[in-house]
Structure 1
Amino acid sequence: MKGSDGTDLQEIDEFDGGVGWLAYPAESMRRASHALSVDGEIWVLDPVDAPGVDELLADLEGDVAGTVVCLDRHGRDAAAVARRHDVPVHVPDWMTGVASELDAPVERFGSELGGLTAIRVRDSSIPPWQEVALADEDRGTLYVPEALGTGSYFLANDERLGVHPMLRLIPPRRALGGRSPERVLVGHGAGVHERASEALETALRRSRGNAPRLYLGTIASLIR
């Protein structure tokens, strides 16, 4: 499901103050990486490294302030990109485990990170899952690394944005409900830029009802 043999970087989610990319566009996991420029600082979110990444970052306003790990199992290439730009990797102050696996200086953050609001999406042991979303309130950008996605295995019926299969029965409504972003960026797949708040509300509201259809589709794809 993860690409490993050569990259062919595909730019996605380009907008004023941000950009995303797929390092391996053909992989089924559709791992997406993003960079946001906020108040003259560039934050690189859950990056998968590839030739051409630094050129994308150079097109944004400001200097790279750090990379960010937003999911306890999303170390990805955050350390490698941080070392190349001589910046630390930023990890939520409540997230355990992942920091010790990063081969780069680590700094912790709380409810804010350089103008971004940190939203604790999930912090559980069953299933083991620690995830933080980041919101640029001024520009209407919401980044959710794992609980939401647009990869095919996230979507059921006519959804444009879907809840992760493992969270379908326990969607993060308390953390993400009631928000009205102009765009939703995700860690798997291209983001949603049109009627994003509607897509978010629909994804959370229909998560449980659409779960059987999603699970049946997943099983069917595995036995084909």
Structure 2
Amino acid sequence: MPAKATGATTEPEVVDRFEGGVGWIPHPGETMERASHALATGGGVWLVDPLDAPGVEDVVDEYGEVAGVIVLSNHHARDADVFAEHHDVPVTLPAPMTDVAETLSAPVERLDVGEAVGEYELLEVAHGAAWQEYALYDGETLVASESVGTADYQTVGDERLGVMTIRRLTPPREAFGDCSPERVLSGHGPGLEVGAAAALEDALVNARWRFPRALVENGRKQVGTMLAAVRT
């Protein structure tokens, strides 16, 4: 499979099932392992960085009516339009996010950092010209869009959760340092439900000194995913 699969998916993988939501990976074999989530919170279901796939709507319906769609990375517009138009809801973007609203055909609403989607607070992870990333946290579940995840190209050694190679020298410690989640959901790879807080702390504390190993083991994969993201 390529770094990023662009064709139709026939065998999506449902992951991260818990009382408050579910996740799915449309192309489990791609390097990126792009994951999307539905969170049941605050009177409805919010779709996070959603990718369309056969059967997804049936899975989402199990958790209630869709209240909105939210995009947490300027590289994760994905199929937000498709879901927003199907459910007649707007796409919510973090207020500081730029260069995404113009690419969407669905109506757009803005959410300030520190405000909430249901019970989830919006956290700022990174904000620059090329990299704009946000997260959601309700005290129990952390939804991390890009910087940390379980995808193979993000982890080294016995890490159960890893920081992306290009973020290891500047890991998101300030954004996630006060978080002690029971589970971590990521935009890349299946979520982590066991020992999530300890795994997150380990990933953040040791990101820098594990950078050389990550560069050797995952550097080529990281470059491949970045090129695939830009090209497609």
TM range (shorter): over 0.9
Specify the alignment match of 1:185 in structure 2.
Answer: 185
Cα distance change of structure 1 residues 216 and 13 upon mapping to structure 2, 3 Å threshold: same
Asked if 1:129 corresponds to 2:137, the answer is no
- Counterpart amino acid of residue 193 in structure 2: H
Q: Identity over aligned residues, as a percent?
A: 46
Matched position secondary structure for 2:105 = coil
Cα distance change of structure 1 residues 30 and 193 upon mapping to structure 2, 3 Å threshold: same
Q: Distance in 1 between matches of 2:189 and 2:201?
A: 18
Task: Assess if the C-alpha contact under 8 Å between 1:182 and 1:193 holds in 2.
Answer: yes
Of 49, 59, 62, the match for 1:59: 62
Greater than 4 Å deviation, 4+ residue runs: 219-222
Q: Distance in 1 between matches of 2:39 and 2:220?
A: 38
Task: Assess if the C-alpha contact under 8 Å between 2:154 and 2:218 holds in 1.
Answer: no
- Counterpart amino acid of residue 114 in structure 1: G
Matches within 5 A, 1:67-216: 67-110=69-112, 111=114, 112-125=116-129, 128-137=130-139, 140-216=140-216
- Counterpart amino acid of residue 128 in structure 2: S
Asked if 1:42 corresponds to 2:51, the answer is no
Q: Distance in 1 between matches of 2:190 and 2:29?
A: 13
Q: Pick the structure with more strand per residue.
A: 1
RMSD: 1.4
Of 21, 26, 31, the match for 1:28: 31
Aligned length: 217
Q: Distance in 2 between matches of 1:144 and 1:221?
A: 20
Normalising to structure 1: TM-score of the pair?
0.93
Task: Assess if the C-alpha contact under 8 Å between 2:12 and 2:24 holds in 1.
Answer: yes
Task: Assess if the C-alpha contact under 8 Å between 1:144 and 1:184 holds in 2.
Answer: yes
CA-CA distance at 1:51 after TM superposition: 1.2
Greater relative contact order (Cα 8 A, min sep 6): structure 1 or 2?
A: 2
Task: Assess if the C-alpha contact under 8 Å between 1:181 and 1:197 holds in 2.
Answer: yes
Normalising to structure 2: TM-score of the pair?
0.90
Matched position secondary structure for 2:217 = helix
- Counterpart amino acid of residue 117 in structure 2: L
Q: Distance in 2 between matches of 1:218 and 1:70?
A: 24
